[in-house]
Amino acid sequence: MALDPDEILGALDDDQRAVALATRGPICVIAGAGTGKTRAITHRIAYAAAIGTMDPQKVLALTFTARAAGEMRARLRSLGVPTVAARTLHSAALKQLLFFWPTVFGGRTPDLITSKSGFITEAIRRAGLTSSLSITNRELMRDIASEIEWAKVSEVAPEDFLNEISQRVTKPRVNAEQLVQLYVAYESIKKQELAIDFEDVLLLCAAMVEEEREVRERIQNQYRYFTIDEYQDVSPVQQRLINAWLGTRNDICVVGDPAQTIYSFAGATPVFLNTFTQRFPDAEVIRLSTGYRSTPEITFAANSLLRSGSMGQELTAINGHGSKPLVQGFKDESAEIAGVSREINELLAAGTEPQEIAILARTNNQLKAMEREFIREAIPYQVRNTERFFDRTDVRDFLKHVRQASVIPSEGSEWIDELRSIAQPFLTGESIDGIAALLHLGRELDSDPQFQPKSLRGYLREVEDRVSQNNPPTMPVITLATLHAAKGLEWERVFLIGASEGILPLTNSATLTDAILAEERRLFYVGMTRAKADLHISYRGEPSRFIREAALSGI
């Protein structure tokens, strides 16, 4: 049941209320970290629906992660507008592409690639590069996949790839000529196998809407009002698709923060957010600046960093005062990890819940070192990085064993014991958090009376649902995350490790351009603003320049 309009507005502060009252576009909301942007835009949709300005069934609310889309749907349901389509850009495009495929493209619907690794492995073989590129090196495979994804979302064809790389600020870690060969081979293999990847979904959907009048008219009739969250992260191909959906209309509300643009390597650019008023001269610009997440002490440091880099919206903290951010220096990585581990053990012993703590780092390698220490100290943890959970080799191998075992029916109390037995060999390696999370999910399902059938097959059905939603299982443990993966999340206590020159910013002085430095500064800002109550920053060797810029020197 829809809420009363006054009730919807009553839950908002003055700036958020201004967003909700701006029921017709174009609207541009500049929202700093922790300012309640999701509350503002969901209440805007609900308020517009309540007063009859917007038909909720003709609203398309877009964001960038399945988790954020799920949160948006839950909030809209609680506000009495459950019919709003709240999706990721990719899922909205895929739904449309699959629906219209038989009439527009004809033939068999292509298979969607959820992991590029197999195709890239074959591309390396076909390009004759097995002697110089190791197909067992996961980081290398991830780098190659990232470069191909960057090219496609930036709409760079294979024949133009080499020239574009030469002009890029951030150079690839893989040989440029080899990348071109792999890009060509990868696209050829996909075509041969009648498969598409997530970037193809965006490209094909955009082309379909642009070129097929009947499709365009049906989609534009279905969706008349657009809300786009995290607008600073759109890529050129995503903006092209948004333009195709919108057409000549202007009922669009975008929300973003230039200070949180940290995915340039993946094709994201704040240019569309920064030039929104050029494309829509009559747009209303509203700024959210009241910070609800962090203490004034953390907010002051974050604002100092913003001023230093001339970026983003400064925040006003309204929470109670807390402790100043703590900065600690160590002689080397081993000493830093031991020191952080010691502090965390003290927190846990004093009664802090592990899920209130996060360790954030610039690179995956830093997290690996922390993992080893946590395993040695028996500290409960889970890794969260930009790699899709269900694409991890250990996760895929474990689930393959579960599928094989599920052929033999074993319903009842013994199924969870069987799951434990399958998991046991996987819990002896260096990275055990993924399997531990899947095992934890099994225990939760087994204790849920609604979970039926209680069997490995029932468990697999739940896991497959989570795969399709990119919704990995979690545990009540300490989070280890890269700064990129931490965006959009928050914890009571954050340990930002490796805040040293050469690590954050991750470069050397010879390659440190203004653009790279600005991106690294934004990463540091994102890391700082994940903390609600306590922020610990540590470094080894020379402290990062960002510590000084955030007015943290000498604390």
Residues 441 and 504 in one domain: no
Residues 6+ apart with CB under 8 A from 130: 124
**Measured between alpha carbons, how far is 185 from 182 in angstroms, rounded to an integer?**
5
- Among the three residues 262, 289, 316, which one is the final residue of a domain in this structure? 289
Whether residue 224 lies inside any domain: the answer is: yes
% of the chain exceeding 70 in pLDDT: 96
**Measured between alpha carbons, how far is 26 from 45 in angstroms, rounded to an integer?**
14
Cα separations in angstroms, 99 against 62, 105, 106, 333: 19, 11, 11, 52
**Measured between alpha carbons, how far is 383 from 148 in angstroms, rounded to an integer?**
25
Residues 208 and 182 in one domain: no
Q: What is the pLDDT of residues 496-533, one digit of tens each?
A: 999 999 999 987 655 678 888 999 999 999 999 999 99
Any bridge partners for residue 335, and if so which?
Answer: none
Residue type, 56: P
pLDDT value, residue 484: 93
Spatial contact of 38 and 227, defined as CB atoms under 8 Å apart:
no
pTM for the whole structure: 0.85
The mean pLDDT value for 104-114 works out to: 90
Residues 118 and 221 in one domain: no
% of the chain exceeding 90 in pLDDT: 68
**Measured between alpha carbons, how far is 67 from 87 in angstroms, rounded to an integer?**
10
Residues 460 and 485 in one domain: no
pLDDT value, residue 555: 41
Spatial contact of 67 and 81, defined as CB atoms under 8 Å apart:
no
pLDDT grade for 236, boundaries at 50, 70 and 90: very high
Residues 215 and 85 in one domain: yes
Residues 307 and 450 in one domain: no
Q: What is the pLDDT of residues 411-463, one digit of tens each?
A: 556 889 999 999 999 887 667 888 988 999 999 888 888 888 888 998 998 88
Q: What is the pLDDT of residues 380-415, one digit of tens each?
A: 899 887 677 887 888 889 999 999 888 886 555 688
Lowest mean pLDDT among 34-48, 354-368, 371-385: 371-385
pLDDT value, residue 510: 54
Spatial contact of 534 and 322, defined as CB atoms under 8 Å apart:
yes
The two most distant CA atoms of the chain are separated, in Å, by 68
- Among the three residues 274, 289, 304, which one is the final residue of a domain in this structure? 289
Spatial contact of 360 and 530, defined as CB atoms under 8 Å apart:
yes
Residues 381 and 502 in one domain: yes
pLDDT value, residue 531: 97
Q: What is the pLDDT of residues 47-87, one digit of tens each?
A: 999 999 999 999 999 998 877 888 899 899 999 999 999 99
- Run of H or E including 142: helix 138-153
DSSP designation for 500: B
pLDDT value, residue 388: 74
**Measured between alpha carbons, how far is 453 from 457 in angstroms, rounded to an integer?**
8
Lowest mean pLDDT among 199-203, 492-496, 508-512: 508-512
Location of structure tokens 């220096």: 329
What is the average pLDDT value for the chain, to the nearest integer?
91
At 378, list the tokens. Answer: 């028996």
**Measured between alpha carbons, how far is 388 from 393 in angstroms, rounded to an integer?**
11
Annotate 101-118 with three-state secondary structure. HHHHCCCCCCEECCCCHH
The mean pLDDT value for 307-311 works out to: 80
Residues 223 and 77 in one domain: yes
At 356, list the tokens. Answer: 């209130």
Whether residue 215 lies inside any domain: the answer is: yes
- Among the three residues 153, 170, 192, which one is the final residue of a domain in this structure? 192
Location of structure tokens 């923060």: 257
CATH number at residue 342: 3.40.50.300
Whether residue 553 lies inside any domain: the answer is: no
Q: What is the pLDDT of residues 330-355, one digit of tens each?
A: 999 999 999 999 999 999 999 999 99
Whether residue 105 lies inside any domain: the answer is: no
Location of structure tokens 């809209």: 76
Residues 243 and 127 in one domain: no
Spatial contact of 372 and 430, defined as CB atoms under 8 Å apart:
yes
Return left, alpha or beta for 376; rule: phi > 0 is left, psi -120 to 50 is alpha, else beta: alpha
Location of structure tokens 């502060």: 13
Whether residue 487 lies inside any domain: the answer is: yes
Spatial contact of 345 and 377, defined as CB atoms under 8 Å apart:
yes
pLDDT grade for 200, boundaries at 50, 70 and 90: very high
CA-CA-CA-CA dihedral for 289, 295, 300, 305, to nearest 10: -80
pLDDT at 553 over 80: no
The number of domains in the chain is 4
Backbone CA torsion sign across 149, 150, 153, 156: negative
Residue ranges of alpha helices (H) inside 227-332 are 236-246, 271-274, 276-279, 296-309
Location of structure tokens 């209303």: 284
- Run of H or E including 482: strand 478-482
Beta strands in 331-471 (DSSP E): 357-361, 381-384
Whether residue 235 lies inside any domain: the answer is: yes
Residues 12 and 86 in one domain: yes
Q: Which among 523, 452, 428 is positioned nearest to 481, based on CA atoms?
A: 523
Q: Is residue 5 reached through a cis peptide bond, with omega within 30 degrees of 0 on the bond before it?
A: no
Residue span of the structural domain in which 452 resides: 388-467
